[in-house]
Amino acid sequence: MLKYRGATEVRKEFLRIAEEGDSGDTVAVTKHGRPVLAIMPWGLYEALMETIGIANDPAILNAIAEGEKAIRDGKTISLDELSENLA
């Protein structure tokens, strides 16, 4: 859930807002009614950074595209076959 809070309120209540960070909510800090900063739980930040990293890695994007093509072409194996191959 996104909550909007003014910069003045955030400055006064920062520690309380930080303690609420585990709730999963993101706080949009506003200045003159416009969002200027986001305060979010650390886990969400890490997930976003990982997603950005994947989206900017040509090798990973190519591997994903190849996997999707293999699925479309029916080049898949069952879970049992995979288990046998890994054993």
Q: Report d(CA 76, CA 70) in Å as an integer.
A: 7
- pLDDT at position 8: 93
Q: Is the domain covering 2-40 a CATH 1.10.10 domain?
A: no
With a cut of 50, which residues of the chain have pLDDT below it?
A: none
Structure tokens at 20: 């609420």
The domains of the chain are located at 2-40, 44-75
